[in-house]
Structure 1
Amino acid sequence: MTTCVLSLVLACGGAVAGQRIKDLARFDGWRDNPLIGFGLVTGLAGSGDSSRSQMTRQTLANLLNQFDVRLASGQISSRNVAAVMVAATLPPLTEPGNRMDVTVTAIGDARSLVGGTLLLTALKGSDGQVYSLAQGPVSVGGYRYDGNGNVVQKNHPTVGRVAGGGIVERAVPASIVSDEGVFLLLNTPDFTTSNRIAAAINRGIGGNPATAVGANRVQVRVEARAQAAVMALLSRIEGIEVEPDERARVVVNERTGTVVAGGNVMLSPVTVMHGELQVSISSDYQVSPVTGEAFPFQRPVDAIIVPRTRIAVDERQTAGVTLPGKSTIADLVMALNRIQASPRDVIAVLQAIRAAGALHAELLVQ
């Protein structure tokens, strides 16, 4: 059996420091907005879409028509152009004129976007409205060169990025404060964490304005309608620290042999038996000399090849591990390491313990 030492990352629940509310939740109305557009990348050194891409030829013909260049799509055969999709994320409360990065991906049969420039492309939201315009040189983290049937490629040269290439043309309205106040939406819904956030806000600003209305929502009533007072209140709420509660969860990575568990994961009294039966079958061949008398009716030969097969059974002694009550995952992993359990054995043991009801946590195998 191959000896494998498992690594364990154990987070103790009682030692977790408080986290800011802004790291645990977000205000309702504060969200990102995905944008998408269709455009052309030009200036490619023969690595663009081929003449078989009718989409690229038609798009380039339509673009040239806007500059009074009348060409049919069939008259265009340049491989210096590639049709691309342009994607970006519009951050919340972004004002017109702000810049953002955009991602460019080829959708035709272009081989590389290295050295290309994205032409002016309108980026639309889910409502079909244009919120940004993108343009600029494409930065590609790879390359592809070919010649005489030889190809050298690194990473994905058909995906690039235009740093600061998107200019916001329209702001997305975000209404954080309503007549009912403001709502905090938890990143990870949990009733205990929701109640702790409401209690921490009430202690921090006084007056008991916060109420937990669900596992993922906390309502904070706002009395002052002045803009400066509201902004100051939101800033104070974001900086309040809360100790979040977590579900008992164990994550096992089979490839690296890593076991990650929270400090609140406990085991009931359990006994684990570990054993292995190993069967080994090997064959080799030997040359045995013979005389013609051994083959009276055949042509005499000097030697024959005789196979020899050996079968060995190794039933190793079963190793047992007994854990008392209130043991942790760290105790279990250390015990399994002592009996030289492999990562696959550890996963099987944890699954068996979970099925037996002795592991009081959610088991996630990656």
Structure 2
Amino acid sequence: MEYFLLVLLVDFSQGWILKKLFLCFLIGCMCYGEKIGDIANVVGVRDNQLIGYGLVIGLNGTGDKTSSKFTMQSIANMLESMNVKVSPEDIKSKNVAAVMITTTLPAFARQGDKLDIQIASIGDAKSIEGGTLIMTSLSAVDGNIYAVAQGNVVLGNSQNALSGIISNGATVEKEVNYDIYNKNGLILSLKQTNFQNAIKVQNILNKTFGEGIAKAIDPRTIKILVPQNLSTIEFLALVQEVNVDYSNRDKIVIDEKSGTIVAGVDIVVHPVVVSSGDLTIKVTKEFLEEKDSQKLDNETLLNPNYNLISSNGRPTTISSVVRALQKMGIKPKTMISILSAMKQSGAISAEIEVL
């Protein structure tokens, strides 16, 4: 992390307001790194998933067939709640579809707030386009109802006629209480487990707000105490803006369908020999004479006769290997297998994630 070196004369005798302004100024001078608000969450402050079962009505013969017994039973139950008693066997309508409704209840959502909802058919309907979802309760994993949904289904840009959305289709009825204002201490949870990052967050918070404010208790968790002269909300707002020299793990992301490979250009590939079918590839640091090799780029040389990938004594990177494999005409699936084999052998230390 780098800082601007500044010499300031500040009169703190005017009270804590000047101190806070000076503190905000110091935070703004941290010009490199990741904000703590981007790499860590406050434990307990989170979204909650809601789910419900309901009926979409008004379909033009594209609803569930009468063979969907749960749909017919749901229609009978709905009518009975309105003092209309009818047997499920007597219902022949194909204008109704049974659906599941899902949404996310944001942290600190209040009664009356609106939520977007997603709807998907669970029966044998042909389409739910143009239908209307009738009032449906949405509950969380604890079984309590937190929102009520209703509205007209819109397919949007989806080509799937069996799923849709309703913008602002749910209204929050019950709040998830989290008394953050009166808490003297909070817990930060890093999004990635890393001993060094936990210590870095601890040290920068203690340096910014004073010793003893933060304490890392494991590679993911940091306990923080709220200073007496700041409210919890003010303190968290400042904490989230603090920059820290954050270390990210190297990762190689591969989209198997498209063959797209995304990786850092400086991920090192150690010397290794990989055999895949009739193909044998060797990654080495040894120097290749120009007359015996084909120039691939400024760093990597590829010997077309032996599939020998070299970086002329410098560390070979994953970007060099991928370009070399592409020049050999290796297909994406085979390339994925080769990279995975390199990972298993220890030649690549970065994590590989296949989508």
1-side partners of 2:66 and 2:341: how far apart? 59
Q: Deviations over 1:226-262 (max 9, x none)?
A: 8x71110010011111232122333344544443323
The residue identity in structure 1 corresponding to 2:200 is: R
Instruction: Using the TM superposition, name which of 74-83 and 241-250 deviates more.
Output: 241-250
Name the counterpart of 2:76: 61
Q: 1:271·1:321 contact (CA, 8 Å) conserved in 2?
A: no
Kindly state the Cα deviation for residue 111 of structure 1 after the two structures are TM-superposed: 1.1
Q: 1:272·1:320 contact (CA, 8 Å) conserved in 2?
A: no
Distance 1:262 1:17, change over 3 A: farther
The residue identity in structure 1 corresponding to 2:68 is: S
Structure scoring higher RCO (CA < 8 A, sep ≥ 6) equals 1
SS of residue matched to 2:263: strand
Query: Following superposition of structure 1 onto structure 2, how do residues 66-105 of structure 1 map, counting pairs within 5 Å?
Result: 66-105=81-120
Distance 1:254 1:20, change over 3 A: same
Name the counterpart of 2:350: 361
Kindly state the Cα deviation for residue 175 of structure 1 after the two structures are TM-superposed: 4.2
**Is residue 242 of structure 1 aligned with residue 241 of structure 2?**
no
Q: Deviations over 1:88-141 (max 9, x none)?
A: 111111111101011111122111111111111111111211111111111123
Kindly state the Cα deviation for residue 178 of structure 1 after the two structures are TM-superposed: 7.5
Q: 1:275·1:317 contact (CA, 8 Å) conserved in 2?
A: no
Identity of aligned residues (%): 34
2-side partners of 1:140 and 1:274: how far apart? 46
SS of residue matched to 1:49: coil
Name the counterpart of 2:310: 322
Name the counterpart of 1:121: 136
Equivalent residue for 2:224, pick from 211, 220, 224: 220
Instruction: Using the TM superposition, name which of 208-217 and 66-75 deviates more.
Output: 66-75
Name the counterpart of 2:17: none
**Is residue 201 of structure 1 aligned with residue 189 of structure 2?**
no
Name the counterpart of 1:333: 322
Kindly state the Cα deviation for residue 336 of structure 1 after the two structures are TM-superposed: 4.2
1-side partners of 2:252 and 2:225: how far apart? 38
Kindly state the Cα deviation for residue 162 of structure 1 after the two structures are TM-superposed: 1.2
The residue identity in structure 2 corresponding to 1:247 is: R
Kindly state the Cα deviation for residue 53 of structure 1 after the two structures are TM-superposed: 2.0
Distance 1:343 1:137, change over 3 A: closer
Q: 1:41·1:119 contact (CA, 8 Å) conserved in 2?
A: yes
SS of residue matched to 1:208: coil
Flag the structure with higher helix content: 2
2-side partners of 1:156 and 1:204: how far apart? 52
SS of residue matched to 2:231: helix
Return the index of the structure with the highest Cα Rg: 1
> Normalization by structure 2: what TM-score?
0.75
Name the counterpart of 1:166: 170
> Normalization by structure 1: what TM-score?
0.72
The residue identity in structure 1 corresponding to 2:195 is: F
Name the counterpart of 1:26: 41
Q: 1:140·1:159 contact (CA, 8 Å) conserved in 2?
A: yes
Q: 1:273·1:320 contact (CA, 8 Å) conserved in 2?
A: no
Q: Which runs of 5+ in 2 are unaligned?
A: 1-30, 280-303
Q: 1:84·1:104 contact (CA, 8 Å) conserved in 2?
A: yes
Q: 1:121·1:134 contact (CA, 8 Å) conserved in 2?
A: yes
Distance 1:263 1:203, change over 3 A: farther
Q: 2:181·2:231 contact (CA, 8 Å) conserved in 1?
A: no
SS of residue matched to 2:217: strand
The residue identity in structure 1 corresponding to 2:249 is: R
Query: Following superposition of structure 1 onto structure 2, how do residues 340-359 of structure 1 map, counting pairs within 5 Å?
Result: 340-344=329-333, 346-359=335-348
1-side partners of 2:35 and 2:52: how far apart? 37
Distance 1:365 1:104, change over 3 A: closer
**Is residue 136 of structure 1 aligned with residue 151 of structure 2?**
yes
Kindly state the Cα deviation for residue 180 of structure 1 after the two structures are TM-superposed: 6.4
Name the counterpart of 2:301: none
Kindly state the Cα deviation for residue 351 of structure 1 after the two structures are TM-superposed: 4.3
SS of residue matched to 1:214: coil
Name the counterpart of 2:159: 155
Kindly state the Cα deviation for residue 275 of structure 1 after the two structures are TM-superposed: 10
2-side partners of 1:168 and 1:330: how far apart? 49
Kindly state the Cα deviation for residue 274 of structure 1 after the two structures are TM-superposed: 10
The residue identity in structure 2 corresponding to 1:322 is: S
Q: 1:29·1:175 contact (CA, 8 Å) conserved in 2?
A: no
2-side partners of 1:338 and 1:222: how far apart? 57
Count how many residue pairs are aligned between Structure 1 and Structure 2. Answer: 300
2-side partners of 1:255 and 1:50: how far apart? 36
1-side partners of 2:169 and 2:265: how far apart? 46
Name the counterpart of 2:262: 260
1-side partners of 2:42 and 2:181: how far apart? 9
SS of residue matched to 1:245: coil
Q: 1:18·1:244 contact (CA, 8 Å) conserved in 2?
A: yes
2-side partners of 1:355 and 1:112: how far apart? 47
Flag the structure with higher strand content: 1
